[in-house]
Structure formats: structure tokens, C-alpha cells
Amino acid sequence: MTLLKCLGVASLSTLLAFSSTVTAQQPTGSQQPQGWMWGFGVAASQDVYTDFDNRIVPIPIVGYTGEKLRVYGPFMGYELFREKGFTLDAQLVPVFAGYEEDDSAVFTGMEDRDFSYAAGVGLNYNTGSWVYSLSTNADILGKFDGYQASARIGKQFRVDNFMIEPSVGVTYQDSNYVDYYYGVRPEEATALRSAYYGDSALNTEVRVAVSTRQFLGGMTRLEVGATFFDDSISDSPLTDDDTALSAILVYTRFF
């Protein structure tokens, strides 16, 4: 199985954590370093699909940070506005979701669901030690033809050379997204797998991140979290749980 496909079948919570880690580790502001960076990560995740193996996935990283442009692997952002703690970015982000028929017996006889790519915007506001973020993006490859939106609040605590940031958030996924990745089409229904139309979902997430620049001249960040899925996902005949745990460790440094 390729790395991209491994990422594609990782849990939503891990991939959201990876996206958050990308954002957190991108330098912002002219006083911060700019240029090319490299690094690596390891993601561990559960998934709510039935009989879906837990994943431990290595993630090679190459990125670039300029005055406004940021590229971090497949994640890209361009700063549109900055004023008094507010930043607004245009974003291109991968949608690492989906499965192949042979990933689990529950998918036997079903068509594969593909990963996609999305375009959107992200708004962040930093005030004191509090961090607020809003983002939304829509499918641009015509895979699920839907959109997602998220809101998050976190608080930063500095302990010696470590930054600790607990956060809570919600992610809305429209019915097109949920039905594509968790629905069962009438022609895919069997005696053991009923047809299912996935309605929109509002998932809740809690995470704790710890980051430091103490090691090997770069940024190291560990993030652990849990996602609590909406009933429209946990009620799908393709799933057997409503909670997924995740962890990701990422190291990056500039060339």
C-alpha cells in the first residue's frame, strides 16, 4: 500500500491533527525564518470503519515558507490579510479519506472511495495566549462534491522551553461528504449491509499538543487527540464505533 493510500485510510482525527500541526509549525510574520524546510513525522490512528486496522504511518515532509506563501507537503496557504492578531489565508488542502474494497470485509462489493483535494479559506485570531480559528473548504476534484467547515479554540501555556496547547473544536461535514465516505448505495446493499444515506455530520474533537525547539535545531511537536463522531457517521453500516484516537509526532527544520 502506498504512503498516500495509507494516509488516505488514516482516521479523520489524525489527519486533522496533521493539518493543525502543519499550521502550527509554519512560521508567520517577517521576523520569523523563511526558506525551505525538511522533516519527518509518524502518525498513529484508529478508524471507525468496521475491522479496519489501526495505522502507523511515516510521513516525509518538504516545505517552504515565504513572506506570504507557505507550502508544507500537499498543504498550501497564501496570506491574504494580517491585522491586529487576525490572519486570513487562502488554502489548498488534501482530503485524506476513503478506502479500497480490500481494506476490510465490510467493503466487499463496494466501489472504492477516493481521496480528494479542496480549496478554501482559514481565519485565525491570536490574543494573548488564546488561539481561535475558523476554516472552510470545498472539493475541487469532483469526488464527493461537498464541503467541510471547522472551528477551534485553544490556549497556550509555556513551561520552560515547551509550549503546551490544549484545544477543542468542531468540524461540520455536509451530506455529500458523509454520504460519499460512509454511505451505502442501493446497488451496494446486501443482506448484511443495508443501503444507507449519510446525512450531514458535526464531529467534536479534543487535542493536546506539546512543541519545542530544544532538539536538533528544529521544531518538534507531539499532538494527541480524540474525535467523537456524529450519529450520521456512527450509524452507518460501514462503522462500528463513534470515537477514534490519534497521535502524531512531527520534526521539521530549515535547510
Q: Mean pLDDT for the chain?
A: 86
| pLDDT per residue as tens digits for the range 78-100 | 999 999 899 999 999 888 888 89
What integer pLDDT is reported at residue 46 of this predicted model? 83
| pLDDT per residue as tens digits for the range 98-127 | 889 988 899 999 999 998 999 999 999 999
What integer pLDDT is reported at residue 97 of this predicted model? 85
pLDDT band at 208 (very low <50, low <70, confident <90, very high): very high
Q: What value does the mean pLDDT take over residues 26-51? A: 77
Nearest to 166 by CA among 131, 199, 208, 109: 208
- The share of the chain scoring above pLDDT 90, in percent, equals 60
What is the pTM for the complete model shown?
0.86
Question: What cell was used for 8?
Answer: 488516505
Q: What value does the mean pLDDT take over residues 17-32? A: 50
**pLDDT beyond 80 at 30:** no
Higher pLDDT, 46 or 135: 135
| pLDDT per residue as tens digits for the range 164-189 | 999 999 999 999 999 999 999 999 99
| pLDDT per residue as tens digits for the range 223-232 | 999 999 999 9
What integer pLDDT is reported at residue 9 of this predicted model? 41
